[in-house]
Amino acid sequence: MTYVADVGALARKDLLLELRAKETLPSMLVFVVATFAIFHFALPHGTRHVAALGLLWVALLFTALLALTRAFVAEREEGLFDALVLAPCDRSAIWLGKSLAVLAFLVAAEVVALPAFGAFFSGVDARTVGAVALADVGICAVGTLLGAMAVAGRARELLLPLLFLPLAVPIVVGGVGASAGAGGRYLLFLAFYDAVFGLLSWAAFEYVVAEA
Amino acid sequence: MIRARKLAKSFGERRVFADVDLDLDRGELLLVTGPNGSGKTTLLRVLAGLAAPSAGELTLPPRQTVGYLGHAPLVYRELTPLENLTLFGRLYRIPERRERIGMLLERFGLWEVRHERVATFSRGMQQRLGLCRTLLHEPGVLILDEPANALDRDGLELLQAVLEDRRRAVAVATHDPASVEGLATARLAFA
């Protein structure tokens, strides 16, 4: 129960910070809708639905990257990792709280993004929504861990995409696969990715925040 | 509470400090002095358990008994003092959190502004809040890096009272040792 309370307090803190600063979510919304608008005019008329779905996944991935890049800004600018890691709570609670907050931003952005995609291209079915939900979990789990790693580096804004995008390839494969037809198999693949990388990220965070 | 033998820290080829021996027990105050870049902050981070030494033996107390104040006050600027201290109070599992937070905010002159965002505070007020956060869980060991930064006369008096409290072991790094000189039981000067 204490662990859950710690995670809740840390996630609530991040949601409060965003509510006050209003920096991450508005930029995610503008980015994802602008991306769809650009694709809408850039692609030839009558582009196939499958190609549009591919664009949906690329747009969602880069929108998530925006949130992940800003996830540890407060901790980085104020040196707050020191205060958090000295607290006697389990350090993985810091990762889980941050992941949940990023997940909340991502879901909020997708509540706008998916209807916008429908308006610019074509509607999405339940399989695609399910795939997006599963992909969100994997993106947040892996991205938050890598965000914490990147924050310690000098070229952090460059480092995060370099670390994250290769690990996100399976998410795009699973997402496009689930959206484009062979749903069940790819949904299972996404769930498997979430379980494996979620567990690895949870276990690895302790070592990521420990300074050598 | 803290015991170090032949302690050394390097970053790659660059040696920050070496052969540091020290014992710090309850009621003692270690004064660390030296110019910028001499290794004071790195030593304090090692003593706080935030960085690992490169060599030597080091015995540290459990991390929940350490109160650390770095160069920055280590508080969230977009949260209020009350929200900051409530967060850290929960993470430190402080019983009767509300009373403890109220008492500290009163003592450090921040009660009236407890619902205002820290970003609107002067640097001195932020430092006072940083001290509140550091003392929140009644640590047995205090590690303070330039704690007098930006404090006004009243703030310095409050800090002095904290340093005079002999229930703790204290390690302080400062450019201006005069204010703490009389309280120090041990000194470590970096060149």
Identify whether the C-beta of residue B124 lies closer than 8 Å to the C-beta of residue B151. yes
Give the model confidence (pLDDT) of A40-58 as tens digits. 888 877 777 778 888 999 9
- Structure tokens, B104: 């500290």
Identify whether the C-beta of residue A175 lies closer than 8 Å to the C-beta of residue A57. yes
Give the model confidence (pLDDT) of B159-188 as tens digits. 999 998 888 999 999 877 887 888 889 999
What pLDDT does B114 receive?
A: 95
Give the model confidence (pLDDT) of A132-154 as tens digits. 999 999 999 999 999 998 887 77
Write the burial class of residue B165 (CB in 10 Å: 0-12 exposed, 13-18 middle, 19+ buried).
exposed
pTM reported for the whole predicted model:
0.90
What pLDDT does B179 receive?
A: 77
- Structure tokens, A180: 């484009």
Q: Across the interface, do A20 and B78 touch by the CB < 8 Å criterion?
A: yes
Residue from A194, A9, A2 nearest A90 by CA: A2
What CA–CA distance (Å, rounded) separates A4 from A10? 10
What CA–CA distance (Å, rounded) separates B109 from A161? 44
Indicate the helix (H) or strand (E) that contains A151.
Answer: helix A126-151
Task: Please count the residues of chain A.
Answer: 212
Identify whether the C-beta of residue B131 lies closer than 8 Å to the C-beta of residue B158. yes
- Does A4 contact B at CB distance below 8 Å? no
- Does A83 contact B at CB distance below 8 Å? yes
DSSP state of B119: G
Indicate the helix (H) or strand (E) that contains B8.
Answer: strand B2-11
Mutant choice from A86, A90, A95 vs B, greatest count of B C-beta within 10 A: A86
- Does A13 contact B at CB distance below 8 Å? yes
Q: Which residues of B touch A82 (CB under 8 A)?
A: 45, 48, 50, 68, 70, 74
What pLDDT does A101 receive?
A: 96
User: Taking all residues of chain B, what is their mean pLDDT, rounded to a whole number?
Assistant: 92
Using CB atoms, pick whichever of A20, A88, A210 lies closest to residue B64: A88
What CA–CA distance (Å, rounded) separates A194 from B97? 37
Give the model confidence (pLDDT) of B70-122 as tens digits. 989 999 999 999 999 999 999 999 988 999 999 999 999 999 999 999 999 99
Would you say the C-alpha torsion B19, B25, B31, B37 has a positive or negative sign?
positive
What pLDDT does A212 receive?
A: 46
Give the model confidence (pLDDT) of A55-65 as tens digits. 999 999 999 99
Q: Which residues of B touch A9 (CB under 8 A)?
A: 87, 90-91
Residue from A138, A156, A137, A121 nearest A50 by CA: A121
- pLDDT at A37 > cutoff 60: yes
Identify whether the C-beta of residue B172 lies closer than 8 Å to the C-beta of residue B185. no
Residue from A199, A16, A190, A189 nearest B77 by CA: A16
What CA–CA distance (Å, rounded) separates A109 from A32? 8
What CA–CA distance (Å, rounded) separates B137 from A17? 24
- Structure tokens, A42: 């850039």
Residue from A156, A21, A8, A142 nearest A76 by CA: A156
Q: What is the secondary structure of B18-48 as a DSSP string?
A: EEEEEEE-TT-EEEEE--TTSSHHHHHHHHT
Tell me what ipTM this predicted complex has. Answer: 0.89
Question: Given pLDDT bands bounded at 50, 70 and 90, which one contains residue A211?
Answer: low
Q: Mean pLDDT across the stretch A122-134? A: 91
Residue A62 CB: number of other CB atoms within 10 A? 16
